[in-house]
Amino acid sequence: MKSIATWFFATGALFALCGMIWGIQMSATHDHTLSPAHGHLNLIGFVAMSVFGTYYALTPRAASRRIAAVHYALVVATVLVLTPGIVLAITGQGETLAKLGSVLGVLSMALFGFVVLRNGVGATDSERAEPYAQPAE
């Protein structure tokens, strides 16, 4: 099984790829109407997920807890709800998904804050004892 940090990074890369393709499409059509949705896809989908992945890679005790998987699912849900929600809001088709996605985003950041406060940052001395040990897949 892949580590939670790997899941954050891989999913972040996928969201970044989607954002880049979308950006190229907007540039080619000269229609940047949906750029706020594109920006949120890149910011939360790539930047935030990469920050979270880095934290979990540096803090094994946090990564090993079940709450890390909950955090991952919550961030993915945020991106998948907020991005189309912003599109719908911009195109005048309703703001419900954008509002829900915003709440999910706040919850995912609050959960991250909780995880950091609970686990600190970095490996413990015992986790540093074998710096080149590879975890079992």
What is the residue whose two structure tokens read 């970044």?
Answer: 16
Q: Which residue has the higher pLDDT, 118 or 132?
A: 118
**pLDDT tens, residue by residue, 94-122:** 999 999 999 999 999 999 999 999 999 99
Among candidate residues 44, 34, 38, the one with its CA nearest the CA of residue 20: 38
Among candidate residues 78, 58, 79, the one with its CA nearest the CA of residue 4: 58
All structural domains of the chain with their residue ranges = 4-122
**Does residue 38 register a pLDDT over 70?**
yes
pTM for this entry: 0.88
pLDDT attached to residue 2 = 86
The answer to whether the beta carbons of residues 64 and 123 sit under 8 Å apart is no
The string of DSSP codes covering 64-125 is: TSHHHHHHHHHHHHHHHHHHHHHHHHHTTS-SHHHHHHHHHHHHHHHHHHHHHHHH-SS--H
